[in-house]
Amino acid sequence: MKTNRVLNRILDMNLHHVLYFKMLMEEQELSPSKVVIVVANYDDKYGRRFAKMILPGFNWQAFKEQGGEPLALGLACRKKASREIKRINPQLLFDLAGVKETPVVVVAEKAADIFSL
């Protein structure tokens, strides 16, 4: 799988949060076949849909006005995430299917990528 450097950097910068969600999945016995970790930029046209999926009703405008970075991190149903991934790049569904460990979906810069932890 070809990795977008910007998306890779976003993952690296938020790895401590992502690892927290991985730990949460393990503690709650959430299967990676059912749940994915999402890191999505709300200001991105694709990321916005993911952000709304994992943080419905969140007031992004107020958050940004206070200087917050519009980055949503959380857990999402793998099936719902797959539908959104298909809109961005159907090829990524094959990458997601190949992930046997914890899948991480990073969405920003009008692109997405799938990572495995």
19-50 pLDDT, tens digit per residue, is: 999 999 999 999 999 999 999 999 999 999 99
* Domain ranges, ordered by start, for the chain: 5-116
Closest of 24, 27, 77 to residue 53, by C-alpha: 77
Q: How far apart are CA 94 and CA 114, in angstroms?
A: 10
pLDDT at 1 over 50: no
pLDDT at residue number 3: 56
- pTM of the model as a whole: 0.91
At residue 112, φ and ψ (nearest 5 deg) are -145, 160
In 10 A of CB 49, how many CB atoms? 18
Average pLDDT value for residue range 53-78: 93
| Confidence category of residue 68, pLDDT binned at 50, 70, 90 | confident
Q: How buried is residue 101: exposed, middle or buried, by Cβ count under 10 Å (0-12/13-18/19+)?
A: exposed
